[in-house]
């Protein structure tokens, strides 16, 4: 059954030409539409039938860049019609996702926002407004995975091609990456390098005209934000570690040993104090506590040894005192 936590799509959208008259509504949808006064398929239903047909072709007959972009173009058409009818973007996207899932496509394969962003990359690279305007030679260059990785360089904007525009500092890079056929690790490294270059440029521009004191203040604020972000990431990791440790029934000692062995925590060895050092640290108060601990342990041999030593000391002390007193009297 279709998920019901999304806004209902209006059923009074105007009809336009459709490639199919297949009624793709589930029985539940038909019942809901009947309550809303819709006796047949709406234009959005017909548009979804086109989405479903292209999605089925994509996942059943081979994944190709053109098939992904064609599917994305149909999703964009559905989205635009829904937006004109007053539906929120997230609800329209959720409706497409739910209906594709109901049709038997796995949730992990349904990435409507990604499809739309990749279409935005292709249209911006080609500088055209529609998929039909793209030169056929374009399809022989980038794989869908490449375009999906490059979508980091676009952002949504209704005035742009396909509802997207290039972010600052990304247009030339994306076109160059496609022309050079970058992929895999080379593409990942190039994207990371360009992202760093863009960040550094934005940082430089934001500091133009500032005094040295203001720059220093801005740098310290940025470092504080970075540290807060890193601490937040560590805290999330710790929470995950805690949950996993509970599932594995690990004790605190087990966790400490694992983290120590992995080099996460460095435990410095502590040197135990010698008996002589402990004796020098004794005071009348902690000497009493020391004696009480020995008695509580009940080790007769230790107690006897200490008592004999104390008695011998007392005897020698008394003998010394008597000799001293006799010397004084003489």
What is the tens place of the pLDDT at every residue in 133-143? 887 777 667 88
Whether residue 141 contacts residue 179, with contact meaning beta carbons closer than 8 Å, is answered with yes
Rounded to whole angstroms, the Cα distance separating 18 from 29 reads 20
Residue 326 pLDDT greater than 60, yes or no: no
Give the mean pLDDT of the chain: 80
CA–CA distance, 219 with 227 (Å, rounded to integer): 12
Residue 72, classified by CB atoms within 10 Å of its CB into exposed (0-12), middle (13-18) or buried (19+), is buried
pLDDT surpasses 50 at 62: yes
- Tell me the three state secondary structure of residue 128: coil
Range 204-217 average pLDDT: 83
When mean pLDDT is compared over 33-47, 61-75, 183-197, 201-215, the highest value belongs to 183-197
Structure tokens at 90: 């997230």
pLDDT band at residue 202 under the 50/70/90 scheme: confident
Tokens of 259: 């983290």
pLDDT over 90, % of the chain: 25
Q: What is the DSSP string of 199-244?
A: HHHHHHHHTTT--HHHHHHHHHHHHHHHHHHHHHHHHHHHHHHHHH
How open is the CA angle 206-212-218, to the nearest 5 degrees?
A: 45
State mean pLDDT over 72-88.
90
Per-residue pLDDT at 9: 40
Q: For 147-173, what is the mean pLDDT?
A: 92
- Is the pLDDT higher at 147 or at 273? 147
The two three-digit tokens of residue 43, written as one number: 């234009």
DSSP state of 153: G
Q: What global pTM score does this model have? A: 0.59
Average confidence (pLDDT) over 219-235: 88
pLDDT of residue 33: 55
Sorted by sequence, the CB contacts under 8 Å of residue 194 that are 6+ apart come out as: 153, 169, 170, 173
Question: Looking at residues 204-214, what average pLDDT do you find?
Answer: 82
Is 324 or 309 the better-scoring residue by pLDDT?
309
User: What tokens were used for 325?
Assistant: 């007193």
Give pLDDT tens digits for 228-272: 989 998 888 888 888 888 888 888 888 888 888 887 777 666 677
pLDDT reading at 74 higher than 70: yes
């Amino acid at each position: 059954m279709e998920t019901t936590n999304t806004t209902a799509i209006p059923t009074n959208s105007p009809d336009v030409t459709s490639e199919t008259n297949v009624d793709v509504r589930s029985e539940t949808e038909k019942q809901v539409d009947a309550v809303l006064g819709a006796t047949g398929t709406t234009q959005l239903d017909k548009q979804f039938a086109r989405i479903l047909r292209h999605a089925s072709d994509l996942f059943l007959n081979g994944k190709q860049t053109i098939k992904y972009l064609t599917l994305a173009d149909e999703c964009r058409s559905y989205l635009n019609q829904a937006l004109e009818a007053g539906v929120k973007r997230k609800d329209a996207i959720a409706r497409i996702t739910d209906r594709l899932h109901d049709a038997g496509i796995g949730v992990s394969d349904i990435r409507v926002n990604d499809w739309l962003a990749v279409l935005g990359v292709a249209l911006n690279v080609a500088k055209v407004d529609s998929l039909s305007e793209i030169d056929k030679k374009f399809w022989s260059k980038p794989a869908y995975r490449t375009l999906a990785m490059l979508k980091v360089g676009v952002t949504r904007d209704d005035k742009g091609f396909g509802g997207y525009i290039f972010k600052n500092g990304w247009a030339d890079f994306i076109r160059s990456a496609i022309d050079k056929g970058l992929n895999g690790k080379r593409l990942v490294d190039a994207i990371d390098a360009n992202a760093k270059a863009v960040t550094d440029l934005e940082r430089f521009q934001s500091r133009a005209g500032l005094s040295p004191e203001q720059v220093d203040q801005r740098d310290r604020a940025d470092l504080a934000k970075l540290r807060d972000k890193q601490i937040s990431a560590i805290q999330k990791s710790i929470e995950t570690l805690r949950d996993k440790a509970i599932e594995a029934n690990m004790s605190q000692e087990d966790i400490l040993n694992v983290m120590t062995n992995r080099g996460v925590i460095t435990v410095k060895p502590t040197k135990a104090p010698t008996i002589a050092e402990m004796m020098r640290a004794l005071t009348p108060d902690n000497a009493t506590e020391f004696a009480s601990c020995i008695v509580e342990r009940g080790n007769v041999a230790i107690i006897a040894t200490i008592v004999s030593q104390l008695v011998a000391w007392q005897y020698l002390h008394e003998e010394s005192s008597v000799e001293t007193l006799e010397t004084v009297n003489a």
